[in-house]
A and B are shown apart, each in its own frame.
Chain A
Amino acid sequence: MEPEPASKTSAIFEITGVTKIYQTGEVEVRALNGVELKLQRGEMAVLLGPSGSGKSTLLNIIGGLDRPTSGSVKFKGEELAAASDRELTLYRRNHVGFVFQFYNLIPSLTAWENVALITEVATSPMSPADALALVGLENRMHHFPAQLSGGEQQRVAIARAIAKRPEVLLCDEPTGALDSATGIIVLEALARVNAETGATTAIITHNAGIRKIAHRVYSFLDGRIASCVVNEVRIQPSEVSW
């Protein structure tokens, strides 16, 4: 493993005092309750925590899909909490790659086309074929999502997320719908992308076994980050015990 970079590089995200309150009718849900977090450029972070602890909420705020109720989220010094809808759209388009539990592929487009969809509007993308090769799908490029297995679909989603060479790769339970063997393949793809493209990667999981592949592990509890552990030694995804 490379020496861990977190201490040397600067923070790409600086998150301070972030709260998120969902108002549903009479009920007020405090999804985030004062989150403090710095993500370092190029690091791979794993966000752990029980269901409902606010992981997705935070990831969505980082990804520009949602705004915090209060607090500050700075991306390379720019305040996202104050950005307009249009600015957030451009931010997602130009800087963020997303991978979700349910792939969110376009069923009417082939694997290649799903990736091309994004590269067509990116500023300095890699070719869709290269992106698919990076996740080991060079032979499945012209298949439609319906013709691919779950793991393959998720790898298309990863290829799509990284093809635009994003600075940030946000993955919300990318292995949540997959069996362990397939999950490992997907994690390997993510680790490889992180290493080869240097994209700051955040992976949400509630599978504690995955934590050891990260540079840093944040544990969520009741809308706060309860602890942060730096892994002195990272393991390969293939070594993850599921």
Chain B
Amino acid sequence: MNPLSMLDRKIVRDLVRLWAQSLAVALVMACGVMTLILALGAARALDDTRTAFYDRTRFGEIFASATRAPESIKAAISAIDGVSAVATRIVNPVIIDITGMAEPATGMLISIPDHGDPAVNRLYLRSGRLPEPGRDNEATVIEAFAEAHGFRPGDTFDVLINGRKRSLSISGIVLSPEYVYAIGPGDMVPDQKRFGVIHMHRSVLDGAYDMKGAFNDVSLTLSRYADRKDVIARLDRLLEPHGGTGAYGRKEHVSDAFLDTELSQLRAMTQVIPPIFLFIAAFLINMILSRLIALEREQIGLLKAVGYTNAAITWHYAKLTLAISLVGITIGAVAGTRLGHGMASLYGEFYSFPFLVFSQKPDLYVISTLVTFAAALAGAANAIHGAVQLPPAVAMRPPAPTRYRNLFNASAGGFRLPFSQLTVMALRHLVRWPLRTALTTLGTALPVALLITSLFAFDSVEHMIDTIWFQADRQDATLTFASDRSGDAIREVSRLPGVMAAEPFRATAATLRNGHRSRNIQILASDPVTDVSRVLDREFAAIALPPAGILLTERLARHLELMAGDQVDTELHDGQGRRVLVPLVGVTNSYVGLNANMSRQALDRLSGRGGLISGARVIVDESRLDDLYAEVKQTPAIASVALQGISRQRFRAVIEENIGISITIYVTLAVIITFGVIYNSARIQLSERARELTSLRVFGFTSGEVSSVLMTELGVMVILAQPLGWLIGHTFSVLVAQGFATDLFRIPLIINPSTYAVSSLIVLSGALVSALIVRRRIDRLDLIRVLKTRD
């Protein structure tokens, strides 16, 4: 056995003596390690699972839909250079009627081959089996929907297929790569109860939709070296005559785009949050070690005098640093792993994968350990360097007295600053170590910033809810017809039970282009002046839609590199394939999706076919909602219904739950940083100034007065940290808002004054408690001992 060397015993003793300070640093490190493991592990879990699932189910790479394309062109599609597999399908929205649920659910009814697996977008069977040939009423449903309703194989439910009510029997429960994130029309967050995906045999849907020998949806997989752009262009050309609405890749595929957003957020988190913690930890290590080395100056001199090498002394302090880090890494790894499992199960709620395992591969822990060690050693480096540089003879003498600058001079000139000498002491000490003061201030500002960055989501979501549901889309429901109908249909809608107001709209798929930039979108057209659903400009004022021209959301305009006044190369996918230049008359504000708006008049003129509407937005008498729901479930002409009122409630509930979780985490993190910084800072000040402060007690100053020196010094830094924290927090929030912005949705940057105040309040309270813990030590200063030693 190799007994501990003398120096190693000293490490153990130092750790025991400095346990509170070491623990404070270790906790800050633990936060860094935890967030690193959490974010990196979650990102990997999501990424790996996605890749594996997509591979296994042969998730498509290019998607397109058409009105009705003959099956015969499938061969031509397969022949496109780079295409490795093609699946043609019939895909239609349906209304689902579930016993015991008043509101209609919406569904996607998708065909699968009668025999064998589809070549693209295979299903992953969770339970039961695929429909059996010949059993026309059998269908599979996706798991999230089944779980929300407690469905098992053998259960039945009703759907409205092309106007006819049909009772379907669930043969199996499946997962689909197309609906990992399954979000219904008009919804902002998944609502598993109200959105279902149903797969049935192609032969059944052929009959139901009168599509024999035709398809309206196609997905492709590509060979490795395929030229995506070229494939899309060729596919578009093939589908064009058949009402093709423009092919797109995974980037524009809603489910995959949501996963991508989540992943890029996790990656951004990995790059921002752990470094903040590790930076603060490095700084704290530096503070503690510098002080320890200052106290042990003479011991170091002695060790060197008796022949310990610089390397031995360096290694000694490095080991102390590593020991503290190890505590932090252990706590962080345990917490990170536990939270990772929690996060994975949270993901499980939103993303339907067959499995989602939080990655616990050892390299994750190795990376975290190495990164933390590196940060800690970087923090320790210059303190240790200073110690080993001293020649032994110098080290054994006391250090030269600290020189202060004659600032804050209470008696300077004729001009008297209103400071007591106690305050002057505090202020001079602050400016004596400007770098340390600045870093401590920064270290206190960062938790403020972190809080603002997480709390601002509340303000922004509130604003989003107000804008989306109370300013723009104020309808209770959006009814979409199975196909465009004449404008008279609005009168029928108005007559539906409970409908108090109805506004018609027309939706047409289109490709907007500007040079090499292009985008497939839906042009939504409505009456010039509307009251239910309104288009907002960038100042959130309702816009009257002009008789000609198009309006684009800011993000879409930016994507196409267009400004108001430019011409938009617009191709309508309404079967006519017209391609015209339309003036961009304005830029609009929207938090969801990429929108293009026109007046009906303008779209009618563009398409050359007037008077058509695709559906209506309605305001409903709340007391008659159930009547309306019942009617909609029986109205063949209505293909789908989006319930904005329910979407709004669901959105608020989901977002608030998520924000609630993240706020709990961020408040904890902020409090840990604050404690780490302030507690250590106070302890070190107390250690450095024990002699002065004790002298003050000897001369008859009360504990309160003596601690005011410490409190003033900490107070100045903590107060200065607030505006700095607000500034950094604002900047972070801008970055987060930008980072969150995708084609699917964006988060507005709204930070209420109360958010700044609450963030500061949390940090101020944390700082106060940390300082008060140290303050108690002032009451216990040994008055006599200080008199017996020199500085």
- Interface residues of A, Cβ cutoff 8 Å to B: 56, 60, 65-66, 86, 89-94, 96, 98, 100-102, 104, 106-110, 112-114, 116-118, 120-121, 142, 144-146, 160, 172, 177
Enumerate the 6 nearest inter-chain pairs by beta-carbon distance, A residue then B residue, closest first. A93-B700, A92-B700, A117-B421, A146-B401, A108-B428, A104-B695
0 or 1 for each of B751-791: is its CB under 8 Å from A? (1 = yes): 00000000000000000000000000000000110111111
A118 touches B699 (CB 8 A): yes
Q: Find A65's partner among B404, B421, B783 (CB 8 Å cutoff).
A: B783
Q: Find B401's partner among A94, A98, A107, A114 (CB 8 Å cutoff).
A: A107
In this assembly, does B425 line the interface, its C-beta being within 8 Å of a C-beta of chain A?
yes
A107 touches B420 (CB 8 A): no
Q: Find A66's partner among B403, B404, B409, B784 (CB 8 Å cutoff).
A: B784
0 or 1 for each of B670-705: is its CB under 8 Å from A? (1 = yes): 000000000000000000000110011111111001
A106 touches B432 (CB 8 A): no
Which chain A residue has the least Cβ–Cβ distance from B791? A102
Roughly how many angstroms separate A93 CA and B698 CA in the complex, as a whole number? 8
Roughly how many angstroms separate A65 CA and B784 CA in the complex, as a whole number? 7
Q: Tell me the residues in window 604-645 of chain B with beta carbons closer than 8 Å to chain A beta carbons.
A: none
B425 touches A104 (CB 8 A): no
Minimum CB–CB distance from A52 to chain B (whole Å) comes to 12
Contacting residues, chain A, for B421 (C-beta < 8 A): 106, 109, 113-114, 116-117, 120
Contacting residues, chain B, for A146 (C-beta < 8 A): 401-404
Minimum CB–CB distance from A130 to chain B (whole Å) comes to 14
In this assembly, does B422 line the interface, its C-beta being within 8 Å of a C-beta of chain A?
yes
Whether A107 touches B783, Cβ cut-off 8 Å, given contacts A93-B699, A146-B403, is: no
Contacting residues, chain A, for B401 (C-beta < 8 A): 107, 145-146
In this assembly, does B198 line the interface, its C-beta being within 8 Å of a C-beta of chain A?
no
A93 touches B701 (CB 8 A): yes
Contacting residues, chain A, for B696 (C-beta < 8 A): 106, 117
A109 touches B783 (CB 8 A): no
Roughly how many angstroms separate A120 CA and B691 CA in the complex, as a whole number? 21
Q: How large is the interface on B (under 10, 10 to 19, 20 to 34, 35 or more residues)?
A: 35 or more
Contacting residues, chain B, for A101 (C-beta < 8 A): 787
Contacting residues, chain A, for B691 (C-beta < 8 A): 104
In this assembly, does B424 line the interface, its C-beta being within 8 Å of a C-beta of chain A?
yes
Contacting residues, chain B, for A91 (C-beta < 8 A): 700
Contacting residues, chain B, for A56 (C-beta < 8 A): 787-788
In this assembly, does B411 line the interface, its C-beta being within 8 Å of a C-beta of chain A?
yes
Whether A112 touches B411, Cβ cut-off 8 Å, given contacts A106-B695, A120-B421, is: yes
Contacting residues, chain B, for A112 (C-beta < 8 A): 411
Minimum CB–CB distance from B372 to chain A (whole Å) comes to 36
Contacting residues, chain B, for A98 (C-beta < 8 A): 698-699
Q: Find B420's partner among A65, A100, A120, A160 (CB 8 Å cutoff).
A: A120
B787 touches A108 (CB 8 A): no
Contacting residues, chain B, for A113 (C-beta < 8 A): 409-411, 421, 424
Q: Find B425's partner among A94, A109, A160 (CB 8 Å cutoff).
A: A109
Roughly how many angstroms separate A60 CA and B786 CA in the complex, as a whole number? 12
For B425, B695, B699, B702, the residue with the greatest tally of chain A CB atoms inside 10 Å of its CB is B699
Which chain A residue has the least Cβ–Cβ distance from B412? A142
Minimum CB–CB distance from A140 to chain B (whole Å) comes to 13
A117 touches B422 (CB 8 A): yes
Roughly how many angstroms separate A96 CA and B783 CA in the complex, as a whole number? 15
Q: Tell me the residues in window 395-444 of chain B with beta carbons closer than 8 Å to chain A beta carbons.
A: 401-404, 406, 409-411, 420-422, 424-425, 428-429, 432
Roughly how many angstroms separate A110 CA and B403 CA in the complex, as a whole number? 11
Contacting residues, chain A, for B791 (C-beta < 8 A): 102, 107
Q: Find B787's partner among A96, A106, A120, A172 (CB 8 Å cutoff).
A: A172
Provide 25 A-B residue pairs closer than 8 Å at the C-beta atoms, listed in order of the A residue: A66-B783, A89-B701, A91-B700, A93-B699, A93-B701, A102-B787, A102-B789, A102-B791, A104-B698, A106-B692, A107-B401, A107-B404, A108-B425, A108-B692, A109-B424, A113-B409, A113-B410, A113-B424, A117-B699, A120-B421, A121-B700, A121-B701, A144-B404, A146-B402, A172-B787
Roughly how many angstroms separate A160 CA and B700 CA in the complex, as a whole number? 13
Minimum CB–CB distance from B780 to chain A (whole Å) comes to 11
Q: Find A104's partner among B701, B784, B787 (CB 8 Å cutoff).
A: B787
Q: Find A92's partner among B699, B784, B789 (CB 8 Å cutoff).
A: B699
Whether A60 touches B784, Cβ cut-off 8 Å, given contacts A107-B402, A118-B699, is: yes
A106 touches B425 (CB 8 A): yes
Roughly how many angstroms separate A121 CA and B425 CA in the complex, as a whole number? 15
Q: Find B697's partner among A89, A109, A118 (CB 8 Å cutoff).
A: A89
Contacting residues, chain B, for A92 (C-beta < 8 A): 698-700
Contacting residues, chain B, for A142 (C-beta < 8 A): 406
For B411, B702, B787, the residue with the greatest tally of chain A CB atoms inside 10 Å of its CB is B787
A96 touches B700 (CB 8 A): yes
B411 touches A116 (CB 8 A): yes
In addition to A90-B700, A177-B790, 20 A-B residue pairs with Cβ atoms within 8 Å of each other are A65-B698, A65-B784, A89-B700, A93-B700, A98-B699, A106-B421, A106-B695, A106-B696, A107-B401, A107-B402, A107-B404, A107-B791, A108-B428, A109-B424, A110-B406, A113-B421, A116-B421, A117-B422, A121-B700, A144-B403
Minimum CB–CB distance from B685 to chain A (whole Å) comes to 12
A86 touches B702 (CB 8 A): yes
Which chain A residue has the least Cβ–Cβ distance from B426? A108
Roughly how many angstroms separate A145 CA and B404 CA in the complex, as a whole number? 10
For B402, B421, B432, the residue with the greatest tally of chain A CB atoms inside 10 Å of its CB is B421
Whether A94 touches B789, Cβ cut-off 8 Å, given contacts A65-B784, A106-B695, is: no
Roughly how many angstroms separate A117 CA and B697 CA in the complex, as a whole number? 12
0 or 1 for each of B537-563: is its CB under 8 Å from A? (1 = yes): 000000000000000000000000000
A107 touches B692 (CB 8 A): yes
Q: Find B700's partner among A60, A94, A104 (CB 8 Å cutoff).
A: A94
Minimum CB–CB distance from B762 to chain A (whole Å) comes to 32
Roughly how many angstroms separate A6 CA and B89 CA in the complex, as a whole number? 118
Roughly how many angstroms separate A30 CA and B790 CA in the complex, as a whole number? 25
Roughly how many angstroms separate A117 CA and B385 CA in the complex, as a whole number? 38
0 or 1 for each of B479-502: is its CB under 8 Å from A? (1 = yes): 000000000000000000000000
Roughly how many angstroms separate A216 CA and B699 CA in the complex, as a whole number? 26
A108 touches B784 (CB 8 A): no
Roughly how many angstroms separate A110 CA and B786 CA in the complex, as a whole number? 21
Contacting residues, chain A, for B402 (C-beta < 8 A): 107-108, 146
Q: Tell me the residues in window 316-366 of chain B with beta carbons closer than 8 Å to chain A beta carbons.
A: none
Contacting residues, chain A, for B783 (C-beta < 8 A): 65-66
Roughly how many angstroms separate A204 CA and B182 CA in the complex, as a whole number? 88
Contacting residues, chain A, for B790 (C-beta < 8 A): 102, 177
Minimum CB–CB distance from A75 to chain B (whole Å) comes to 14
Minimum CB–CB distance from B411 to chain A (whole Å) comes to 6
